[in-house]
Amino acid sequence: MKILGIVSVWLLFLGQVLADDPGKESVAQLRTVLLFGSHHELAKVVPEAEPAEEGHAKRMQLIKNLNFTNYGLLGSETKPIWRSYTNWAAPMKGSDEIMLSFEPNSETEADGVKLDLELWQGKRKVMKTTQPLKNNNWLYIAGPEWRGGRLIVGIELLPLSH
């Protein structure tokens, strides 16, 4: 009976320590979108894709390798950025073929944060970079060629108040 009491107290203590984990404090949010860029008609190439927001097309017209006629949205996900842990985003629901890992690299500033980013295609890491991100600004990463076009990962840093 004494052992049961000791184990119970230890579990309560452990639960309190984990609940107070400062590394799990959310410092911002990251919106991740998986886009498909193509010069072909989207409905014929990727019928399940809905048209991407016009803002994505306008921003990507300025980027040489991402300048396509049509853009489709294949998936979207918003995740918290924890202070001291690696975070994962899988913007295409039900698929882990394209994933992004992200982790703060330094202290958060009022208008942004520097993140360590890794793009994964299946179980293979295909890109690693450290990138400063500013609130409400997009960063686009060229993914693999697919169905006569290109997959594009877009990320946007959102402040906690968003």
Domain region containing 133: 23-158
- Residue among 72, 61, 45, 69 at smallest CA distance from 147: 45
Query: What is the Cβ-side half-sphere exposure of residue 64, based on CA atoms within 13 angstroms?
Result: 0
Task: State the residue for tokens 């690299």.
Answer: 105
127: in domain: yes
Q: In whole angstroms, give the CA distance from residue 116 to residue 74.
A: 24
User: What pLDDT does residue 128 have?
Assistant: 95
136: in domain: yes
151: in domain: yes
For the chain (162 residues), the mean pLDDT of every run of 10, in chain order, is 54 53 80 95 90 91 88 94 89 87 82 92 92 92 90 91 60
Query: Model pTM greater than 0.75?
Result: yes
The number of domains in the chain is 1
User: What pLDDT does residue 14 have?
Assistant: 47
User: What pLDDT does residue 93 have?
Assistant: 83
User: What pLDDT does residue 75 have?
Assistant: 94
3: in domain: no
62: in domain: yes
Q: What are phi and psi of 7, to 5 degrees?
A: -65, -40
User: What pLDDT does residue 89 have?
Assistant: 92
9: in domain: no
Six-digit token pair at 1?
Answer: 């009976």
131 contacts 115 by C-beta, under 8 angstroms: yes
18: in domain: no
User: What pLDDT does residue 126 have?
Assistant: 93
14: in domain: no
